[in-house]
Structure 1
Amino acid sequence: MIDKSTPRVLALAGCLAAFAPALAQDDLMIVPERITLQATTDPAGQRCRRIETSAPLMPVSLRRTFHDDFDEHPLSKGIWVPHYAGGASWPAARYWGGDGSDFKRKTAWNGEQQIYVDPRYGGRETTPLGLDPFKIRNGVLSIVASRTPPELKSVLFNNEYISGILTTQGSFSQKYGYFEIRSKIPVGVGVWPAFWMLADNGGWPPEVDVMEGRGQRPGDLVMTTHWRIPTTQIIETCGFDFEVPDASTGFHDYGVLWMRDRLIYFIDRKPVSDIKVPVGFDDPMYMIVNLAMGSKDFGGVGFVDGESPVTVEFEIDRISAYQFDSY
């Protein structure tokens, strides 16, 4: 999700895979404390690969270490923060408003056209604007992106949209294990939802994009790994597009299993691709979920225009993390 314009050695590979409709939301209301997934056992390659039905698999047992089923507002428990984190040079006041505070509330080099808000944020001012992009309905969180009210545009750094981001940096991170979101993927011109992970030490890369939606291509989602070669400092990227025809209307599970030797991506808990763990995956990673609007480089999103939705919702049933029993 960060810096899609960086040089890449491995091109993003494309593939299509159809999946049966996900179980109804009510069927998974009780999330187990332990799960078993099927992991590949043959050697993983430096390049990512699709997992074919003939690939040798073995069961791995995991125990739950993090879970939010969004029965209440995501900012009420203290496990999520609604902005990118910063260091000592970013006092708390900068998170809540003032000139320059937009630096922690969008990824400008992606060409994004939204600003991430929350009820305490004041834009250029320090008085809270009371804007809340997080809505809870029947145990489902919606991150809502909407056109910026004209009277607030200058206060909100002239961004076309207001939207939301949630991260667990500072509250939860983990090395190895399984990380999963159950969600619907919204569509529309300029719509860019994502569930992804970054290193807790603040460095970039590594980056794991568990799920990114291409808003202009309904049913098309991307799962990608990013890393840096230390000797050349070149950023390498490898991932696949997958097609889940009802992704925008039905809930599906999107996850990644981080093992010592490989990363395995899952859709509805079925392994769909893997890659050898690249260099630099040394620190625990934290989770990020957000709804961006507009992109200059990420294909299938585009810049917002008159055809973009006035409001769009990224619906999330739950986010969970698990750790290996043996780790």
Structure 2
Amino acid sequence: MKMTCHRRFALLVTLSLLGGAAHAQSEKRILDDRCWDLSFEEPFDTLSLWNESTREGLWRTRYIWPRDVIINDEQQFYIDPEEHGVSPFSIDDGILSIEANPTPRALRGVVSGQPYISGVLTTEKSYSQKYGRFEVSARLPRGGQGLWSAFWLLPSFEQWPEGVAVLPEIDVMESLGHQPNTYHTTLHTNQTGELTSFPFDHTLKADLTRDFHLYSVVWTPETVTWYLDGKRMASHPTPDDYTRPVHFLLNLAVGGSWPGSPDASTEFPASFDIDYVRAWTDNGSCNS
């Protein structure tokens, strides 16, 4: 999601009826919870933040690179409650909200000149998994132009691997604030020696900013397949460089080379609301 510039091409995928009862039953079984063992669950009853000193906690509030490194020409700075005295995160009745706002005057000197503040959460230091089913129940941000929310997966390393510009990446869900009926799924791979992206854009009748929806991906050695509310949306063969366990990332960006800058119509505060994040492993009971 966050290491590439605006995609140069896209395959438009619209929601349609699955053909054939047998096919429909087969697809339904793929996300049947009885076929999976729950391996990770974050219900956001509380928010456990990673502590760099004690190396305890679950969610880290920055990427693997330094906090002041700004990518994709984005206009937000990802802040930390302890470090900056302001929190972009709140929990209300089990719903996590990541909130973006114009930078307050008190922080203008410590956010690399960025005009907005927001939040990112990653399990880079605490949890990763190879293969399985990964999903988030989320309500996408309302507010319009310049908002960019995402749930995505990256391979885990102790430090950024030398000589690698972009890591392999699975984007489970990306959303642009001015497109409330559309979300995006993408594979990024370096298997040919240079970055290649395989994007799928899903335009629906529903306004995804009004209700919670379940965004899922199933990653196997053979395929990567995306689902919305249990319905198959797209699939692609697994690239050869998808060999490491992945960690989870949630963020709300503002501006950048893809969504463009906020304008007079953009509403702040903007909120990306998450009910839960889960991961599952295939228990083998539905493979026959």
Structure 1-normalised TM-score? 0.75
For residues 107-132 of structure 1, the C-alpha deviation after alignment (integer angstroms, 9 at most, x for no partner) is x23111001112122xxxxxxx3110
The runs of 5 or more residues in structure 1 that have no matched partner are: 19-50, 87-99, 122-128
Between the aligned partners of 2:277 and 2:6, the Cα distance in structure 1 is 29
2:199 paired residue number: 239
SS of match in other structure, 2:81: coil
Letter in 1 for 2:107: L
1:78 paired residue number: 57
Per-residue deviation at 1:13?
Answer: 0.8
2:75 paired residue number: 113
Letter in 1 for 2:266: S
CA change 1:67–1:6 in 2 (3 A) is: same
- 1:169 is aligned, of 114, 124, 133, to 124
For residues 153-207 of structure 1, the C-alpha deviation after alignment (integer angstroms, 9 at most, x for no partner) is 1222111111000000121101100000000011311100000000113453210
Letter in 2 for 1:174: Q
Letter in 1 for 2:80: D
Letter in 1 for 2:68: D
Per-residue deviation at 1:209?
Answer: 0.4
SS of match in other structure, 2:111: coil
CA change 1:291–1:7 in 2 (3 A) is: closer
Between the aligned partners of 2:186 and 2:4, the Cα distance in structure 1 is 11
Letter in 2 for 1:140: I
Between the aligned partners of 2:152 and 2:141, the Cα distance in structure 1 is 16
1:305 paired residue number: 263
2:10 paired residue number: 12
Per-residue deviation at 1:14?
Answer: 1.3
Between the aligned partners of 2:180 and 2:5, the Cα distance in structure 1 is 23
After TM superposition, the structure 1 stretch with the greater mean CA deviation from structure 2, 184-193 or 249-258, is: 184-193
Per-residue deviation at 1:83?
Answer: 0.7
Residue 7 of structure 1 contacts residue 234 of structure 1 at CA under 8 Å; is this kept in 2?
no
1:102 paired residue number: 68
For residues 195-227 of structure 1, the C-alpha deviation after alignment (integer angstroms, 9 at most, x for no partner) is 000011345321000000011111210011110
1:193 paired residue number: 149
- 1:212 is aligned, of 170, 174, 187, to 174
Per-residue deviation at 1:101?
Answer: 4.2
1:157 paired residue number: 112
Per-residue deviation at 1:286?
Answer: 0.5
Per-residue deviation at 1:6?
Answer: 8.1
* Aligned residue pairs, count: 264
Between the aligned partners of 1:83 and 1:165, the Cα distance in structure 2 is 6
CA change 1:7–1:73 in 2 (3 A) is: closer
Q: State how 1:1-327 maps to structure 2 within 5 Å.
A: 1-5=1-5, 11-17=9-15, 52-54=18-20, 56=23, 57=26, 59-60=29-30, 61-75=35-49, 78-85=57-64, 101-103=67-69, 108-121=70-83, 129-187=84-142, 188-201=144-157, 202=160, 204-230=166-192, 233-244=193-204, 245-296=206-257, 298=258, 301-326=259-284
After TM superposition, the structure 1 stretch with the greater mean CA deviation from structure 2, 239-248 or 74-83, is: 74-83
Between the aligned partners of 2:47 and 2:58, the Cα distance in structure 1 is 11
Residue 294 of structure 1 contacts residue 302 of structure 1 at CA under 8 Å; is this kept in 2?
yes
The runs of 5 or more residues in structure 2 that have no matched partner are: 51-55
Structure 2-normalised TM-score? 0.85
Between the aligned partners of 1:149 and 1:170, the Cα distance in structure 2 is 30
Residue 70 of structure 1 contacts residue 139 of structure 1 at CA under 8 Å; is this kept in 2?
yes
Letter in 1 for 2:201: D
SS of match in other structure, 1:102: coil
Per-residue deviation at 1:271?
Answer: 1.4
Superposition RMSD in Å: 2.2
Name the % identity: 33
Residue 71 of structure 1 contacts residue 139 of structure 1 at CA under 8 Å; is this kept in 2?
yes
Per-residue deviation at 1:64?
Answer: 0.4
